[in-house]
């Protein structure tokens, strides 16, 4: 059992929790994720690590209520316990594998959309602890949906907030803000990290490609099972089949077939859709646990 040390409401449907999980906190790195189960028979919920404190033995998660399990989790209070908290899983950020000299030579821009702000934060924080200051663009539809602004200000070199409706900060989407920074403000970047909804990552990656900025994206949003068993996070990257939970969650943003991934994401939600995917993908669909019969 894992204790909820603290819980905070960020917006009407986005919550932050610090979970007591010393072994996970000890080894977690930016970019990795955990699997949360509320009860023994509960649904597996993959969530990117939003922060960790090795001294306190806590790991921070941020989640949006989108179904029964996340609604149930949102009802838990300080001092309550969840059944399982497994991790760290997945590959850490590609930045973790670079030398300090390489990092200091880079001009890095992070682009976060909505709940994607949470997994961006530990990467920016990790860089700052090394003395590397990265710029960050955080976007949301309205000011009321903006999360973790103060936390991000404390670790970013420069923080640029934008809202689709112009209610706060830059008036426009994250792509508009990035283009403005490069073309009108004289900013130069040679590495971008984008995390947010799939549609946002698709268009943001198209913009960084136009601006000739090498780009990494996190495909955590399309995970379901988190072990490679269900096949929900299957994605084509540079004409190769990958699974976000075991091969990622980070990939080259300019090589991903976003349209295919979003189509699979929508189809996977229905039994008929899963059956159609199994038929279309043939032998390459083989896996277990998704309920489509692939484990037989």
Q: What is the pLDDT of residues 236-282, one digit of tens each?
A: 888 888 877 777 788 888 998 888 877 776 665 544 344 444 544 45
Q: Are residues 277 and 214 in the same domain?
A: no
Q: Return the axis-axis angle of helices 258-267 and 198-210, rounded to nearest 10°.
A: 180
Do 84 and 140 lie in one domain? The reply is no
Domain boundary among 173, 192, 218: 218
Paired tokens of 224: 């379901």
Instruction: Note the pLDDT of residue 67.
Output: 81
pLDDT for 55 equals: 94
Residue 226 and residue 203 share a domain: no
**136 and 148 belong to one structural domain:** yes
Residue 20 lies in a domain: yes
Sign of CA dihedral 251, 257, 258, 263: negative
Which structural domain range is residue 73 located in? 2-89
Give the dihedral sign, CA 236/240/246/251. negative
pLDDT tens-digit series, residues 197-240:
889 999 999 999 999 999 999 887 666 655 556 666 678 888 88
Tokens of 80: 């309550």
* Judgement on whether residues 199 and 238 belong to the same structural domain of the protein: no
60 shares its domain with 170: no
Separation CA 253–CA 204 (nearest Å):
9
**Domain-located, residue 292:** no
Task: Indicate if 114 and 19 belong to the same structural domain.
Answer: no
Place of tokens 């190769």: 240
Question: Which residues are registered as beta bridge partners of 17?
Answer: 7, 61
DSSP 92: P
CATH number at residue 81: 2.40.30.10
Same domain, 245 and 200: no
Residue 294 in any domain: the answer is no
Instruction: Tell me the CATH number at 189.
Output: 3.40.50.80
Percentage of the chain surpassing pLDDT 90? 52
Task: Check whether residue 248 and residue 210 sit in a common domain.
Answer: no
Note the pLDDT of residue 271.
43
pLDDT of residue 267: 61
- Confidence (pLDDT) at 258: 85
Last residue of a domain, one of 89, 121, 149: 89
pTM of the model: 0.82
> What is the rounded distance in angstroms from the CA atom of residue 114 to the CA atom of residue 284?
33
Q: Which residues of the chain have pLDDT under 70?
A: 221-233, 265-296
Closest to 6 (Cα-Cα) out of 61, 43, 45, 69? 61
Is 29 a member of any domain?
A: yes
CA torsion 12-14-19-25 (nearest 10°) is -150
- Of 201, 218, 235, which residue constitutes the final position of a domain? 218
Distances from the Cα of 166 to the Cα of 1, 140, 142, 161, 237, angstroms: 44, 10, 7, 10, 34
Give Cβ neighbours of residue 144 (< 8 Å, ≥ 6 apart). Answer: 11, 167
User: Is residue 177 domain-shared with residue 163, that is, in the same domain?
Assistant: yes
Give the DSSP H/E element, type plus range, for residue 71.
helix 68-74
Q: Are residues 209 and 225 in the same domain?
A: no
How many helices (H) and strands (E) in the chain?
10, 16
Structural domains counted in the chain: 3
Residue 291 counted as domain residue = no
- In this prediction, residue 288 carries a pLDDT of 41
């Amino acid at each position: 059992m894992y204790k909820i040390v603290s819980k905070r409401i960020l917006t009407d449907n986005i919550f932050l929790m610090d979970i007591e999980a010393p072994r996970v906190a000890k080894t977690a790195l930016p970019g990795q994720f955990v699997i949360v189960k509320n009860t023994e028979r509960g649904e597996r919920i993959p969530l990117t690590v939003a922060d960790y404190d090795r001294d306190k033995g806590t790991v921070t998660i941020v989640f949006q209520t989108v179904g029964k399990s996340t609604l149930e989790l949102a009802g838990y209070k300080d001092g309550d316990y969840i059944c399982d908290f497994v991790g760290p899983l997945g590959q850490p950020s590609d930045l973790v594998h670079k030398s300090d000299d390489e990092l200091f030579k880079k001009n890095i821009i992070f682009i976060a959309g909505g709940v994607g702000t949470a997994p961006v934060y530990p990467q920016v924080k990790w860089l700052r602890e090394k003395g590397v200051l990265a710029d960050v663009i955080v976007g949301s539809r309205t000011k009321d949906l903006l999360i973790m602004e103060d936390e991000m200000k404390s670790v970013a070199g420069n923080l640029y907030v934008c809202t689709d409706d112009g209610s706060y900060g830059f008036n426009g989407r994250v792509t508009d803000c990035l283009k403005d920074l490069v073309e009108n403000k004289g900013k130069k970047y040679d590495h971008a990290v984008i995390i947010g909804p799939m549609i946002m990552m698709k268009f943001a990656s198209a913009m960084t490609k136009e601006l000739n900025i090498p780009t990494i994206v996190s495909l955590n949003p399309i995970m379901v099972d988190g072990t490679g068993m269900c096949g929900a996070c299957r994605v084509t990257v540079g004409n190769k089949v990958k699974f976000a939970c075991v091969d990622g969650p980070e990939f080259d943003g300019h090589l991903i077939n976003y349209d295919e991934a979003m189509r699979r994401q929508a189809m996977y939600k229905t039994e008929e859709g899963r059956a159609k995917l199994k038929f279309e993908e043939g032998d390459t669909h083989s896996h277990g646990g998704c309920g489509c019969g692939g484990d037989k």
